[in-house]
Amino acid sequence: MTELKHISYQQQRHQQKGAILAATLMIMLVLSLIGITAMETAGLEGIMARNTIDRQLAFQSAEIALRSAGDYVRKRTTRPSATNSCNSPPCVLDSSALTPGWWEAGDDSFWASNGSQVGEAYYIIEERAFVSDSLSVGHNIPTGRDFYSLTARGKIQTSSGEAILQGTFVKRYN
């Protein structure tokens, strides 16, 4: 018969020396880091989603304002006179009175004093040029087309969501 070796519990305990405990702690550390990273990523994704929604709302607001500016010019039967400043909106600004890139430098007070408000958005109409298409010179009032630059700014007041849109509108009054 085979002889069974009797190993005491005391001898087994001295041979292990805690390697399992160290390995388990390392695995727990790695899992904790993965969990913390996942939570931070989820929070960042929430902030990004909120900012995207705010920008979309600002863009839609600016689109509505741009459409309103186009409707203002479209519905006019007589040519509006361009001014250097807008005291009672809606009005048409002379483009020579504005510096290039004014829409980037214009803050909230600039838009409020010079723009026409549509909901949360503002629009500004600039008279760009009159292009004559008449072949007769000096006899009658020349016929042609008026070019306008329409600029709309939509901004969400609760966040940094902002959109600026520009378009060109051509109208023949005669």
Each residue's pLDDT tens digit, 85-111? 776 667 777 766 666 666 666 667 777
> Would you say 161 and 58 are in contact if contact means Cβ atoms under 8 Å apart?
yes
Domain ranges of the chain: 9-171
Pairing of strands 82-83, 121-132: unpaired
Pairing of strands 121-132, 162-171: unpaired
Position 37 scores a pLDDT of: 95
> Would you say 92 and 83 are in contact if contact means Cβ atoms under 8 Å apart?
yes
> Would you say 59 and 163 are in contact if contact means Cβ atoms under 8 Å apart?
yes
Position 168 scores a pLDDT of: 92
Closest CA to 62 of 161, 152, 166: 152
Position 43 scores a pLDDT of: 92
> pTM here?
0.68
Express each pLDDT in 6-46 by its tens digit.
655 555 555 666 788 888 999 999 999 999 999 999 999 99
- When the pLDDT of each residue in the chain is averaged and rounded to a whole number, the result is 80
Position 66 scores a pLDDT of: 92
> Would you say 72 and 89 are in contact if contact means Cβ atoms under 8 Å apart?
no
> Would you say 153 and 62 are in contact if contact means Cβ atoms under 8 Å apart?
yes
Pairing of strands 92-94, 144-155: unpaired
How many angstroms from the chain centroid is the CA of residue 2? 84
pLDDT at residue 122 tops 70: yes
What is the average per-residue pLDDT within 143-159? 85
How many angstroms from the chain centroid is the CA of residue 55? 4
Express each pLDDT in 73-85 by its tens digit.
898 888 887 777 7
> Would you say 116 and 69 are in contact if contact means Cβ atoms under 8 Å apart?
yes
pLDDT at residue 150 tops 80: yes
pLDDT at residue 161 tops 90: no
Number of neighbouring beta carbons within 10 Å of residue 123: 27
